[in-house]
Structure 1
Amino acid sequence: MSYEKALDQYISATNTHDFNNVRKVLHEQAIYWFSDKTCTTVSEIQSYFENAWNLIKEEVYSAEDVKWITVDEGSATCIYTYRYEGYYKSKFVKGSGRATNIFKKEENGSWKLIHEHLSSL
């Protein structure tokens, strides 16, 4: 799988709202920087995702204007505009922000997400 496909797989996994799917594309040492919290373990990341899915029902997450700013044999970094939409307290909401994702290539050739940084525009 290519690093580009790894990003696509990550977005698809996120939209299943099942963290078991997200976990498959995460590096075991993944670190997330959200606007309001830093998550340094997979269990912290899982709690953050599941809380977000409980707050925003039927959320759809997407990436636009993806730019791969560095790629080598072992890592790939992209930046993009993220968008989300769903229902908060039964009211339709949507928003966007900036994202940075870093993928690390595993010995078996698969690409795993090792870092994500999300911030508002």
Structure 2
Amino acid sequence: MTNQVALESGLVLFMREYEQANNARDIERVVSFIAEDATYWFSDGSYQGIGEIRSAIERTFAKILDEVYEIQDLEWPVLTADVAVCRYRFAWTGVVDGEPRSGQGRGTNAIVWRDGCWRMLHEHLSS
């Protein structure tokens, strides 16, 4: 296995574990994937730093019940030993205000290698 293949495999695993943490709705687990100085851009606003991002994710968890979030068609336009950028399509289903809802969109993440592990530095989700 080449270094590039191993690198991509590890990052795919990172993204799958991030997806699973979100589906488990475990905020501590989710924020463990995120860099302290990260920036997240969601449809409802932009969030800087782990505190703001944590609050935004907690609001989403409270608003969308029984959510299932799925990352699809993952691609790696940038893939180095220290920085990676992925783009993908996402889909979600859940219950909002007592009614079944679903949505889909596109995502882009910048991921950095820090202190011996990968961390999300930027996430941009748009519908």
TM-score, normalised by the number of residues in structure 2: 0.89
Query: Percent identity of the aligned residues?
Result: 32
**Alpha-carbon shift at residue 32 of structure 1 (Å):** 0.1
Report Cα offsets for 1:55-76 as digits up to 9, x if no partner. Answer: 1101111101111111012011
Q: 1:82 aligns with which of 82, 87, 90?
A: 90
Higher relative CO (CA 8 A, sep ≥ 6), structure 1 or 2?
A: 1
For structure 2, which runs of at least 5 residues remain unmatched after alignment?
1-8
- Structure 1 position 117 matched with structure 2 position 99: no
Which residue of the other structure, out of 18, 34, 39, is the alignment partner of 1:10? 18
**Is the partner of 1:65 in helix, strand or coil?**
strand
Instruction: Give the Cα–Cα distance (whole angstroms) in 2 for the partners of residues 89 and 33 of structure 1.
Output: 24
Q: 1:54 aligns with which of 36, 58, 62?
A: 62
TM score, norm. by length of structure 1: 0.93
Quick check: which one's helix share is greater? 2
Q: Which runs of 5+ in 1 are unaligned?
A: none
How far apart are the structure 1 equivalents of 2:34 and 2:80? 19
Tell me the distance in 1 between the aligned counterparts of 2:21 and 2:69: 10
Query: How much is the aligned-residue C-alpha RMSD, in angstroms?
Result: 1.2
Q: Alignment length, in residue pairs?
A: 119
**Preserved CA contact (<8 Å) 1:2 1:111:** no
User: For residues 75 and 24 of structure 1, what CA distance do their matches in structure 2 show?
Assistant: 18
The match for 2:100 is 92
